[in-house]
Amino acid sequence: MIEVIKRQTGAAFRLHKGQKLRVIDPNGEQVSDMVLFNAKDTREKISSGKTLDFEESILISQGDHLWSNRSNKMMEILEDTNGRNDFLLAPCSPETFQIMYNNNEYHPSCFENLYTNLEKFEIQPDDIPTAFNIFMNVQFDTKGKLSVDPPLSKAGDYVLFEAKMDLIVALTACSAEDSNGGTFKPIHYEIID
């Protein structure tokens, strides 16, 4: 069954070891930030530093694993029809809009949408690590200069993950203008037994 994450919102749910998760960009050019926690001990969580180290790549896609801070495999990426994801940048937060865009008014953010959905699992805002940003198109040159460009994903593109341990998963439909070319769109997901 396809679940819908409405524009500028999020979701959190359990995913059992062996289950698959398909994250779908239904309209194209939208980003979904994903964080993972070990369902049996939420102090074990997804780690960008461990994943980039073990996969020896900044760009993480089909065939790679998402690793935890305890050096365990949390997910395997079975399919990735778009092929571009980001694992460098923190989820957009209220401060992102203040510091980078001089926007001091309330702005929905992936950070808020992650921690409010994770409250029911007793996960606090300070526990949110750098997310795996599905479909996010962060370009870099060999001098390290970063730019956030519109996603390359087309309508219907998806990434299919398999859980390698019992997980708590949180996902967003990204709230940052820069990440999705100024549009706010939903994200769809599907859990497959």
Largest CA distance in the chain: 45
Closest separation in Å from C-beta 133 to a copy of itself: 10
- Over its C-alpha atoms, the chain yields an Rg (Å, rounded) of 15
Is the CB of 40 or the CB of 43 nearer to a copy of itself? 43
- Structure-block tokens of residue 129: 């690590």
Alpha carbons 53 and 41: distance in angstroms, whole number? 23
Chain-centre distance of CA 73, in angstroms? 16
Considering the complex, state which of residue 62 and residue 147 has its C-beta at the smaller distance from a copy of itself.
Answer: 147
Choose between 24 and 35: whose C-beta lies nearer to a copy of itself.
35
Q: Report, in Å, the least distance between residue 100 CB and a copy of itself.
A: 7
- β-pair partners for 20: 162, 192
Residues at the site binding a copy of itself, with contacts judged by CB under 8 A? 43-44, 47-50, 52-54, 56-59, 69-71, 88-91, 93, 95-96, 99-100, 126, 128-131, 140-147
Query: Is the distance from CB of 67 to CB of 51 less than 8 angstroms?
Result: yes
Min. distance of Cβ 170 from a copy of itself in angstroms? 15
Closest to a copy of itself by CB, 33 vs 162, is: 33
